[in-house]
Amino acid sequence: MTTCPAEYWIWLQTALGAGARVDELLAYFGDPEKLYEAGTREWRLSGLLTPKKIESLTRTAPSQTKAVFDECRKRGYTIVTPDSEFYPARLGTLSDFPLVLYVAGDCSVLKETLSIAVVGTRSAGTYGIETAQKLSFSLASAGAVIVSGGALGIDSEAHAGAMLAGGRTVAVLGCGLSYDYLSENAALRRAICRHGALVSEYPPFTAPSRVTFPIRNRLIAGMTLGTVVVEAGVKSGSLITANCALEQGRDVFAVPGDILRTSFDGANHLIRSGAKPVFTAEDVLSEYEYRYGDLIDFDRARTPLNAIPYVDYRHYKRPGGEEPPAPAPAPSVPSEQRSPVRRELGDDVSADARAVYAALRAEPTQVDDLVRETGLSMSAVLAALTELEFADAAEPMAGKQYRLKP
């Protein structure tokens, strides 16, 4: 495929919509620019476009994409198209491959070959929440990139587990990157940008809807080797992702759950239908040893999940539990006037995080200096810093430096 200016890709996606099947159309015309230049007569003669689609193509133009480019420049988003170096190769094999990806964070993570999707219900219980984080921690420790949907519940724990392991993660969103959606997950999304990337097929200000999430799910499955379903009911969107994986020829795994709870009916049904049950990261990664064995640390993959500590990086409302009271809002003070205060950490903060926190100062400190000062390994320090970010106690700075959070 020849290089085509991004505005033509955006034009075609805007006209036909995200998730449209365009493989035959582009095979006939070559690329979106040549399609645009061919004009309505050639579009009709090709027999590949309905009158309604032709009308959509004529209603918009590549010159109308300026607002999208302005927003991406303002926010620092990268526009990735199928002829870009960062476009995920696996997505290019789909008949409904995305024409445009908007990316916040490190685009190079999209090219990682050992990517695994971990998905599940938003309303997960304690078992699902802890299993998702621990399994993702183990997978990331063993070398995998964790891909999920950035939602509450299982998705959030999957992303957090990867980052706590010092690994990388990708959140594929069902709305535009600039849309103010799910404000309670804003801190997690900011952390994901520093440890991977946020990705959306939709222009920056696109609102979420019942349609956008199912279309998004094919990308979570499509850019990964396999999809792990942790906790999901029979009507969960996670099963849409699993079905997409099967249709795309990807692997499907599931964590066995409580047969008396309907929130596990979907995952248990997948196992009964042939999905591989998962008890450790090795159960997933062993499927790829013949292709990516040099990228996998099987010693870490074999670690029992009950040997991995769970980090309760934020308050969840547990089944039968109480939601903690919201703190009173602090007075607004400009950041340059605020001084960092070494606060008291909660009981659930790990010993490594406490050691790193004690070594942090008001001035930015290099991660290498924290390693030397604490005597911890690099991976342990990175995991501790991520934990402190979630606790709002540490702040990342440029040049792989951290400081106490003002």
Single pTM value for the model: 0.83
Determine, yes or no, domain membership for 1: no
Reading the chain (406 residues) residue by residue, the pLDDT tens digits are: 568 999 999 999 999 999 999 999 999 999 999 999 999 999 999 999 999 999 999 998 999 999 999 999 999 999 999 999 999 999 999 989 999 999 999 999 999 999 999 999 998 999 999 999 999 999 999 999 999 999 999 999 999 999 999 899 999 999 999 998 877 788 889 899 989 999 999 999 999 998 999 999 999 999 999 999 999 988 888 999 999 999 999 999 999 998 888 889 999 999 999 999 999 999 999 999 999 999 999 999 999 999 998 988 764 444 443 333 333 343 444 444 445 667 777 767 788 888 989 898 888 888 888 988 898 888 788 888 888 887 778 888 776 788 887 7
Do 73 and 131 fall into the same domain? Answer: no
Residue-level pLDDT at 393: 82
Do 251 and 378 fall into the same domain? Answer: no
Do 123 and 85 fall into the same domain? Answer: no
Determine, yes or no, domain membership for 326: no
Residue-level pLDDT at 319: 42
When divided into structural domains, the chain yields a total of 3
* 163-180 burial code (b ≥16 CB/10 A, e <16): bbbbbbbbbbbbbbbbbe
| Contact by Cβ (8 Å): 365, 359 | yes
Determine, yes or no, domain membership for 322: no
> In CATH, what number is assigned to the domain containing residue 210?
3.40.50.450
Do 127 and 265 fall into the same domain? Answer: yes
Do 194 and 157 fall into the same domain? Answer: yes
Closest CA to 168 of 202, 200, 134, 198: 198
Q: Pairing between strand 101-105 and 78-80?
A: antiparallel
* 348-372 burial code (b ≥16 CB/10 A, e <16): ebbebbebbbebbeeebbebeebbe
CA–CA gap between residue 373 and residue 381 (Å, rounded): 10
Do 135 and 238 fall into the same domain? Answer: yes
Residue-level pLDDT at 86: 96
| Contact by Cβ (8 Å): 345, 393 | yes
Do 359 and 281 fall into the same domain? Answer: no
Determine, yes or no, domain membership for 323: no
Which amino acid belongs to residue 105?
G
Which amino acid belongs to residue 121?
T
CA–CA gap between residue 222 and residue 82 (Å, rounded): 14
| Contact by Cβ (8 Å): 149, 116 | no
Do 29 and 87 fall into the same domain? Answer: yes
Coil/strand/helix, residue 80? strand
Coil/strand/helix, residue 253? strand
Determine, yes or no, domain membership for 331: no
Do 250 and 144 fall into the same domain? Answer: yes
Do 209 and 60 fall into the same domain? Answer: no
> In CATH, what number is assigned to the domain containing residue 373?
1.10.10.10
Q: In 3-state terms, the chain is what percent helix, strand and coil (to 5)? A: 45, 10, 40
Determine, yes or no, domain membership for 158: yes
Q: Pairing between strand 115-119 and 226-229?
A: parallel
Tokens of 15: 């006209």
Residue-level pLDDT at 366: 87
CA–CA gap between residue 376 and residue 372 (Å, rounded): 7
Determine, yes or no, domain membership for 171: yes
Q: Pairing between strand 251-254 and 226-229?
A: parallel
Closest CA to 112 of 166, 32, 170, 61: 170
Q: Structural domain of residue 237, as residue ranges?
A: 112-304
CA–CA gap between residue 55 and residue 63 (Å, rounded): 17
Do 389 and 276 fall into the same domain? Answer: no
| Contact by Cβ (8 Å): 197, 109 | yes
